Structure 1
Amino acid sequence: MTAVPLPDGYSYGPWHDGPDPLAPPADLRDALEEIGQDVMAGASPRAALEEMLRRGTNRTAGLDELTRRLWQRRSQIQRRNNLDGTLQEVQRLLQEALDAERRELFPDPDDEARFREAQLDALPPGTAAAVNELANYDWRSEQGRENYQQIRDLLGQELMESRFQGMKQALQNAGPEDVERINEMLGDLNDLLEAHARGAEDIQQRFEDFMGKHGEFFPEDPRTVEELIDALAERSAAAQRMLNSMSAEQRAELAELTQQAFGDPRLAQQLSRLDSQLQAARPGEDWTGSARFRGNNPLGMGEGAQAMQDLAELDALAEQLGQSYPGARLEDIDLEALERQLGKDAGVDARRLAELERELRRQGLFERAADGSLRLSPKALRRLGETVLSDIVNALRGKTGERETESAGAAGEREPTGASRPWRFGDMQPWDVPRTIRNAVLRSVSVGERQVRLDVEDVEVVETEHRSRAAVALLVDTSWSMVSEGRWLPMKRTALALHQLISTRFRNDALQLITFGRYAQSMELPELVGLEGAWEQGTNAHHGLLLAGQHLRRHPDAQPVVLMVTDGEPTAHLEPDGEAVFDYPPQPRTLHKTLSEVDRLAKLGASISVFRLGDDPRLTSFVDLIARRSGGRVVAPDLDGLGAAVVGDYLRTRR
């Protein structure tokens, strides 16, 4: 695409630097819901974030799944392969060469043929020793001569491939001049590394001269001698780990065979010198490790070195995905290596996880509390509340929850009726803009005006009705049984949904969240969402109803609504000195004080709806008594239906 010039020197063209600035933002809903569930279940926001990243979301595989696939890939490499591929291939070529030579000599009756047969019969039993013994043998058989040259070429190609990735293919048809160029490159490389070890001042110039002369051997295109050493040392260490993984006999055979690489012992000598310098320059590389290969697929030296490099890369990726080291961030993951090992889908998942982590932090969904701890921000709670409320609304099967007008013209929340009327002096209703403009257009056309002018007689306002205002107290039981019976999370989701409904749909209603265990207390939503379950004895409904009464009295002009979620009968009450008294079974004084507070709420016009969790007969009997004395009702929902029951009852009560 060609950049297109715009006025004032601006132009546009393809974007090349960093993330696409026009890409849609990350969808945080699934991630936030996962985190919110864990936080409400008692986890810290930091732990919940880490757990979400490990677990993933409905659309994205998590770190645990990516790690599992890494270990599966690692196991496949070791289970399918073995490292004696080069030895097996040399043995095959040697045996074919000897068989072809014997077939060539057998028909010849002269003594020289018998002497040659004796030479072949006297070859040492070891493959490497036999290959070395035949270095100066004058082959009669064409196939024997070709096979022996193939052995030398194979050893040279494998030896170079084990140190320089991609070299085997480049040396498929190597001639003497190619071998000489390789020896020259290795000599210059060793000289460069020696100069680097000495601390030569002109090392960068020497490096540039070396790359200008031998750059074709290094497709990685290193920019400094340090980058060159890093790449070479990683491959050399992998080759050493491959040798460490072989038996002592196999290592000895390969060491002897490499002297015949391309028929030039200088190659093995130069590589040995190179390995020594790389090990001194990068002692931190794993030069002593090994791995067990138990498969049937033979790997050559180059393939074996690549397998060892893959195993090391898989181990490094597993550490990055584990995120267990100090300061770990998902940006640390080598995405190119991950895609190389597991495919592009794995890279996509890792990018999404990193983007989720980055956006969750950047968009202010976490904040520091006064004590320095991390907690969900109001913005995060709103988003989480939207999701929870949406689920509950769906559970209500389309009930809209609209409340009827109780006093038109009274102070309260205004709602549009769908009708409009001409504006009158003193009206505060919002304009009906489409109808106002239509009136102006029709009036202007009717009087022959060429321009549309807005006149006061054109204005129409939206007809509204006033809604009643409610004071809502939601009391939730926070005794230990709520935690142990799995009712903790549904209770919090219910409070979150009701808070979201009131704060967005019925903003004039005054909601107070009240928790009651051994003691009761009023709480803000962030405190309740992050509240951890604690072992304490007591279900102090008396204290909770007392706080509910205080809230209702602060709003005498509002319709009183009291909703109570509990799974146990009252076992504690508050004494005048502020101390909570607990006893089980409940004392008559506890029941009397609790019912007295119910009666006080009834005098304020509040009917109490009790949401009973559990089937304890004593609890059932007591909450029925509360409902009768307050003119309320008892609902016994299952845990999945608790939120829908509370929200539905609030809407029913308000109607």
Structure 2
Amino acid sequence: MGAHEHLSRYGRYAGGPDPLAPPVDLAEALDAIAEDVMAGYSPRRALREYLRRGGRNRPGLDELAGRIQQRRHELLGRHRLDGTLEEVRKLLDAAVLAERKQLARDVDMDDTDRAFREMQLENLPPSTAAAVNELASYDWQSSEARESYERIKDLLGRELLDQRFAGMKQALEGATEDDREAVESMLRDLNELLEKHRRGEDTAQDFQDFMARHGDFFPENPQSVDELVDALARRAAAAQRLMQSMSPEQREELMRLSAQAFGSQALMAQLDALDSNLRALRPGENWSGSERFGGQEGLGLGDGTGVLQDLAELDGLAEQLSQSYAGSSLDDLDLAALARQLGADAAVSARTLAEIERTMQDGGYLRRDADGDLRLSPQAMRRLGKSLLRDTARQLSGRTGSRDARAAGAAGEPAGSSRTWQFGDAEPWDVTRTITNAITRTAADGGNPAAGLHLEVGDIEVAETEARTRAAVVLLADVSFSMAAEGRWVPMKRTALALHHLVSTRFRGDRLQLVTFGLRAQSMDIGELTALPADREQGTNLHHGLLLAGRFFHQHRSLQPVLLVVTDGEPTAHLLPDGEPWFYWPPDPATVGATVAELDRLGRAGTQVTFFRLGEDPGLERFVDGMARRIGGRVVAPDAGDLGAAVLQEYLRTHSQGPYGEAGWAS
């Protein structure tokens, strides 16, 4: 290997959020949230529902919560809590067996002494704890038996310490007397520090001195006495829950065995004092809970306490993921705990969801109105409208004889923007952008643009134009309950959004008014229409809607009036002279007469009218067909999913073909 050669080691980035991770897909989130808003959800609820469902390739809160519960069930179903008792019993049986073998081999032993010892071993109580305690003063003849018995004391001591200090069981395996004295010294100093802290007499220096002497016992590396207490109290509370999760017999056995831990009553006294101090300092911890285990894998006291801590952590994560408490936010999620329990991918998903929530609320996509309610902001409406217009344009491109919505104003004034050339475009080339595209492509392919350029079809961009004919457009949308009941509510709103975005970005010379009509009609902006709930209100007051459309056209008399009517039912209501609505089913002749009279008035004013008939109602079909013939209008009968493309196509037709011919359009 050369002097400057070296080996590199690569692994998963662990310095925080991945700096190379793709940006959060807000478009998907916004589309999903807006879809729910249009279906009648509040923006707040729609955001919550999206976070619960997640995205196309991202689990939501519900899936993460389900995995939390699955992890909890796995822990409870895998383990049982008698691991320490089982290990003690094995060591006891090994000691007794070794002692019996020794007594049988020792031919020099007095027969009476041998018989007495054999009787002691034969008549040991069935309780493991009682047997261990009874043999505490037994004079072992076998060194192997004595070693096994001493290992019981050592095991119990390490397990009891492991309950309070994770990892102590392994750390003290094979410990010397000096090691045990160091533990007892740490416990004395710890209890002294905690008692001073309870009285409010401790100082920062006290904590620093303690950590300087005993810091090796605390791999968590707490930075203050409060952090130290928090870590110890969580562990001690889990140890208490472990004991309470055992059967009364198991609990009694362990309590009796604890007297043999390291053969030291002083150790147990210090541990009892530690528990008392921690309870007093953190009474809010769960000191009294219990769990029901049903598995086959035995757990020792230390490992069992760790599992109880895991269960508590899982419960905390489940509450955080539920977002059901006051003031909840995904910023509350403990991502480190989530990574420990479910893996790094789950933590990444949760962090992404939190970022979506934060960006939607703080990034201008949701804002509060005067009443304090959340609303989709104008920025969100523009982004959503752009997305819906793009989707509608794709539908348009597949409709027979239609053109993509981006071909708006093909024979009009330059709009200042350009787009990629498509087959059939007759607009002038945008030479600057076309040449720039060719230069960029040639350089990217390794060529030299200075040596000459070869144009390809993909390089060509054409100048977009706005139509010379300016229009006053009214989208008259039926909002009677049948629209929601028949699944036409959201397509109607999506259509309005796409049309609004098209007019506001490509036909800025036009004026658009959105008018809804149910029992009454109402002019509203796009934000109000998007958030409009589906009311169970009967009545299709087309007459009132036409009156509002006429007022709008009167305010813009210099523009070509264009009326687009979306409805799924015959007129069943009209306004009386006093301004109150009159509703009757089946349609009252007075209602039909008032509606027809208003349509005739608009027709005489040169209004271009298109009816979009939704559904197969024969009465509606007769009515709109008759009106189209009467005023020289047009009827389109799209499916609900094709409504947006149909409306935009008709709107574009008014620009590409100008006023309707004398014969009108009938379909």
TM-score, normalization by structure 1:
0.87
Q: Answer yes or no: is 1:517 the counterpart of 2:518.
A: yes
**Which position in structure 2 is the counterpart of 1:616?**
617
**Which position in structure 2 is the counterpart of 1:170?**
171
Query: CA contact under 8 A between 2:80 and 2:294: conserved in structure 1?
Result: yes
Structure-2 change in CA distance of 1:17 and 1:337 (3 Å):
closer
Structure-2 change in CA distance of 1:216 and 1:361 (3 Å):
same
Structure-2 change in CA distance of 1:414 and 1:94 (3 Å):
closer
Q: Give the CA deviation at 1:556.
A: 3.5
Structure 1 segment 188-587 matched on structure 2, within 5 A: 188-200=189-201, 202-397=202-397, 399-401=403-405, 402=407, 419=428, 467-587=468-588
Q: Give the CA deviation at 1:24.
A: 6.7
Once residues 488 and 584 of structure 2 are traced to their aligned partners in structure 1, the CA distance between those partners, rounded to angstroms, is 23
Query: CA contact under 8 A between 2:415 and 2:464: conserved in structure 1?
Result: no
Structure-2 change in CA distance of 1:464 and 1:615 (3 Å):
closer
Once residues 170 and 405 of structure 1 are traced to their aligned partners in structure 2, the CA distance between those partners, rounded to angstroms, is 81
1:578-627 CA distance string (max 9 Å, x none): 22221111111211221222222222333322112221211111111122
Q: Give the CA deviation at 1:225.
A: 1.8
Q: Give the CA deviation at 1:355.
A: 0.8
Query: CA contact under 8 A between 1:471 and 1:509: conserved in structure 2?
Result: yes
Q: Give the CA deviation at 1:75.
A: 1.3
- Please state whether the residue corresponding to 2:66 is helix, strand or coil: helix
Once residues 174 and 102 of structure 2 are traced to their aligned partners in structure 1, the CA distance between those partners, rounded to angstroms, is 27
Q: Give the CA deviation at 1:496.
A: 0.6
**Which position in structure 2 is the counterpart of 1:44?**
42
**Which position in structure 2 is the counterpart of 1:186?**
187
Q: Taking every aligned residue pair, what percent have the same amino acid on both sides?
A: 57
Structure-2 change in CA distance of 1:371 and 1:404 (3 Å):
closer
**Which position in structure 1 is the counterpart of 2:71?**
73
Q: Give the CA deviation at 1:362.
A: 2.2
1:62-95 CA distance string (max 9 Å, x none): 2222111111111111111111110011112211
Structure-2 change in CA distance of 1:19 and 1:78 (3 Å):
closer
Structure 1 segment 149-168 matched on structure 2, within 5 A: 149-168=150-169
Structure-2 change in CA distance of 1:575 and 1:413 (3 Å):
farther
Q: Give the CA deviation at 1:23.
A: 7.8
Once residues 118 and 433 of structure 1 are traced to their aligned partners in structure 2, the CA distance between those partners, rounded to angstroms, is 104
Once residues 104 and 323 of structure 2 are traced to their aligned partners in structure 1, the CA distance between those partners, rounded to angstroms, is 69
**C-alpha root-mean-square deviation of aligned residues, in Å?**
2.7
Query: CA contact under 8 A between 1:414 and 1:466: conserved in structure 2?
Result: no
**Which position in structure 1 is the counterpart of 2:7?**
none
The one-letter amino acid of 1:137's match is: Y
**Which position in structure 2 is the counterpart of 1:12?**
none
The one-letter amino acid of 1:285's match is: E
Once residues 431 and 392 of structure 2 are traced to their aligned partners in structure 1, the CA distance between those partners, rounded to angstroms, is 34
- Please state whether the residue corresponding to 1:586 is helix, strand or coil: coil
Query: CA contact under 8 A between 2:410 and 2:427: conserved in structure 1?
Result: no
Query: CA contact under 8 A between 1:607 and 1:627: conserved in structure 2?
Result: no
Q: Give the CA deviation at 1:434.
A: 9.0
Structure-2 change in CA distance of 1:139 and 1:650 (3 Å):
same
Once residues 360 and 322 of structure 2 are traced to their aligned partners in structure 1, the CA distance between those partners, rounded to angstroms, is 20
Once residues 259 and 363 of structure 1 are traced to their aligned partners in structure 2, the CA distance between those partners, rounded to angstroms, is 62
- Please state whether the residue corresponding to 1:294 is helix, strand or coil: coil
Q: Give the CA deviation at 1:564.
A: 1.0
Query: CA contact under 8 A between 1:158 and 1:301: conserved in structure 2?
Result: yes
Once residues 253 and 337 of structure 2 are traced to their aligned partners in structure 1, the CA distance between those partners, rounded to angstroms, is 34
The one-letter amino acid of 2:74's match is: Q
**Which position in structure 2 is the counterpart of 1:34?**
32
Once residues 52 and 141 of structure 1 are traced to their aligned partners in structure 2, the CA distance between those partners, rounded to angstroms, is 70
Q: Give the CA deviation at 1:343.
A: 0.8
Once residues 434 and 342 of structure 1 are traced to their aligned partners in structure 2, the CA distance between those partners, rounded to angstroms, is 52
Structure-2 change in CA distance of 1:587 and 1:412 (3 Å):
farther
Q: Answer yes or no: is 1:93 the counterpart of 2:91.
A: yes
Structure-2 change in CA distance of 1:434 and 1:567 (3 Å):
closer
Structure-2 change in CA distance of 1:620 and 1:610 (3 Å):
same
Query: CA contact under 8 A between 1:490 and 1:642: conserved in structure 2?
Result: yes
Q: Give the CA deviation at 1:25.
A: 5.1
Q: Give the CA deviation at 1:524.
A: 0.9
**Which position in structure 1 is the counterpart of 2:57?**
59
Q: Give the CA deviation at 1:379.
A: 0.6
Query: CA contact under 8 A between 2:368 and 2:374: conserved in structure 1?
Result: yes
**Which position in structure 2 is the counterpart of 1:600?**
601
Structure-2 change in CA distance of 1:84 and 1:480 (3 Å):
same
- Please state whether the residue corresponding to 1:475 is helix, strand or coil: strand
Query: CA contact under 8 A between 1:207 and 1:225: conserved in structure 2?
Result: yes
TM-score, normalization by structure 2:
0.85
1:455-507 CA distance string (max 9 Å, x none): xxxxxxx8978632222211100111112222211111111111111111222
**Which position in structure 1 is the counterpart of 2:632?**
631
Query: CA contact under 8 A between 1:498 and 1:647: conserved in structure 2?
Result: yes
Query: CA contact under 8 A between 2:100 and 2:118: conserved in structure 1?
Result: yes
Query: CA contact under 8 A between 2:409 and 2:465: conserved in structure 1?
Result: no
The one-letter amino acid of 2:25's match is: D
- Please state whether the residue corresponding to 1:106 is helix, strand or coil: helix
Query: CA contact under 8 A between 2:416 and 2:464: conserved in structure 1?
Result: no
Once residues 170 and 338 of structure 1 are traced to their aligned partners in structure 2, the CA distance between those partners, rounded to angstroms, is 27
Query: CA contact under 8 A between 2:467 and 2:655: conserved in structure 1?
Result: no
| Count of matched residue positions in the alignment of Structure 1 and Structure 2 | 604
Once residues 387 and 434 of structure 2 are traced to their aligned partners in structure 1, the CA distance between those partners, rounded to angstroms, is 33
Once residues 155 and 18 of structure 1 are traced to their aligned partners in structure 2, the CA distance between those partners, rounded to angstroms, is 41
Once residues 384 and 433 of structure 2 are traced to their aligned partners in structure 1, the CA distance between those partners, rounded to angstroms, is 34
Structure-2 change in CA distance of 1:63 and 1:435 (3 Å):
closer
Q: Give the CA deviation at 1:16.
A: 12
Structure-2 change in CA distance of 1:381 and 1:434 (3 Å):
closer
- Please state whether the residue corresponding to 1:467 is helix, strand or coil: coil
The one-letter amino acid of 1:103's match is: K
Once residues 283 and 80 of structure 1 are traced to their aligned partners in structure 2, the CA distance between those partners, rounded to angstroms, is 31
Once residues 303 and 633 of structure 1 are traced to their aligned partners in structure 2, the CA distance between those partners, rounded to angstroms, is 77
Q: Give the CA deviation at 1:573.
A: 1.3
Query: CA contact under 8 A between 2:466 and 2:506: conserved in structure 1?
Result: no
Once residues 169 and 500 of structure 2 are traced to their aligned partners in structure 1, the CA distance between those partners, rounded to angstroms, is 68
Once residues 126 and 465 of structure 1 are traced to their aligned partners in structure 2, the CA distance between those partners, rounded to angstroms, is 94
- Please state whether the residue corresponding to 2:561 is helix, strand or coil: strand
Once residues 273 and 367 of structure 2 are traced to their aligned partners in structure 1, the CA distance between those partners, rounded to angstroms, is 58
Query: CA contact under 8 A between 1:42 and 1:532: conserved in structure 2?
Result: yes
Structure-2 change in CA distance of 1:342 and 1:16 (3 Å):
closer
Once residues 293 and 146 of structure 1 are traced to their aligned partners in structure 2, the CA distance between those partners, rounded to angstroms, is 33
Structure-2 change in CA distance of 1:193 and 1:37 (3 Å):
same
- Please state whether the residue corresponding to 2:513 is helix, strand or coil: strand
The answer for unaligned runs of 5 or more in structure 1 is 1-14, 421-429, 437-461
Structure-2 change in CA distance of 1:329 and 1:149 (3 Å):
same
Structure-2 change in CA distance of 1:546 and 1:499 (3 Å):
same
**Which position in structure 1 is the counterpart of 2:446?**
none
1:375-396 CA distance string (max 9 Å, x none): 1111100111112122222222
- Please state whether the residue corresponding to 2:523 is helix, strand or coil: strand
Structure-2 change in CA distance of 1:353 and 1:547 (3 Å):
same
Q: Give the CA deviation at 1:528.
A: 0.6
Once residues 427 and 627 of structure 2 are traced to their aligned partners in structure 1, the CA distance between those partners, rounded to angstroms, is 41
Query: CA contact under 8 A between 1:611 and 1:636: conserved in structure 2?
Result: yes
546-555 vs 60-69, greater mean Cα deviation: 546-555
Query: CA contact under 8 A between 2:72 and 2:314: conserved in structure 1?
Result: yes
Once residues 574 and 567 of structure 1 are traced to their aligned partners in structure 2, the CA distance between those partners, rounded to angstroms, is 20
